[in-house]
Amino acid sequence: MQWLRKAILRASGFKALHDEEKIYREEVATATYAKKVSHFFVSDWYGFTLAFKGVLLEGLEAVFIVVTFGVIQKGSNPHAFTLAVLAAISATVLMTVAGFIIHKPLSKIPENGMKFIVGILLTSFGIFWGAEGAGAIWPHADLSLLAIIPFVLATSLLLITLLKIRNRRNHPVKALKIPSFKAPNKNSSQFIRILGGLLFFWYDFIIGDDWRVAMAVVIALFGIHGLGANAWWVMPVVVLLSLFFTLFEATRSDAVNVATPSDTSR
């Protein structure tokens, strides 16, 4: 939902669109002029850390997706987990080869549109699996996804339309500044920086840019578990209400500030 919320904010003009070429140039310039420090067998610690963070984040997401597909589908297909792992390995090899061949940022890919689509799919599958994991039984089983995905898409398009109207009425409203957990500054001790960095990473990864959305989902899971198998409708309703409430509350004219196009958050 974090991906979806930010995609909606970008599409409605409340959050700056990504300029991938500009972000790439800035990152390359920072890495080029960074102080070269060697640790252990690594000759460029800054470059290693930069690459490691990207691989760790994307790797964790891939692991979650593989485990989710593999474990949930294992009941109907005993080989589902093996297939999911093989698919992930194949994708890793393919993208590694593509990276060596292309060796440049994929600036031609419409990233903002791609993240909107990914946000729709992740939220839709999250609604389906979240409710199912809490004990709900969906009508027509997996075919329910054919209704959930259009539902999330229609909700998102409606929100974009309404927020665009709000943006025009509040003109000249700038892009949204979303409050979040802050990492410690550079003047803190090394231990505090490391601990704070770890907490910041996991908070952003699990909670996201609005703790109320995460809290609403947790409450929905407990509610479904308490109401029983026929409570499949709870999760779509909670997602709908939390999207509308948090986005409209965050885009009030007194709650927005300037955000730069180089914003690299998801």
| pLDDT of res. 70 | 67
- Residue 129 in any domain: the answer is yes
DSSP state of 144: G
| pLDDT of res. 239 | 94
Measured between alpha carbons, how far is 63 from 118 in angstroms, rounded to an integer?
16
- Residue 49 in any domain: the answer is yes
| pLDDT of res. 260 | 39
Question: Do the beta carbons of residue 251 and residue 166 sit within 8 Å?
Answer: yes
**Nearest one of 263, 260, 242 to 5, comparing CA atoms:** 242
| pLDDT of res. 224 | 94
| pLDDT of res. 187 | 62
Domain count, the chain: 1
| pLDDT of res. 232 | 93
Range of the structural domain that residue 38 is part of:
2-250
Structure-token match 């070269």, residue found:
36
| pLDDT of res. 262 | 41
- Residue 261 in any domain: the answer is no
| pLDDT of res. 157 | 95
- Residue 262 in any domain: the answer is no
| pLDDT of res. 145 | 92
- Residue 52 in any domain: the answer is yes
Structure-token match 């927005």, residue found:
256
- Residue 83 in any domain: the answer is yes
Residue 39 phi/psi, 5° resolution?
A: -135, 130
Q: What is the mean pLDDT of each run of 10 residues along the chain (266 residues)?
A: 89 80 80 78 82 82 74 63 81 83 70 87 91 91 92 95 85 48 61 80 80 91 92 94 91 56 45
- Residue 105 in any domain: the answer is yes
Characterise 199 by phi-psi region: left (phi > 0), alpha (psi -120 to 50), beta (else).
Answer: alpha
- Residue 255 in any domain: the answer is no
Question: Do the beta carbons of residue 207 and residue 102 sit within 8 Å?
Answer: no
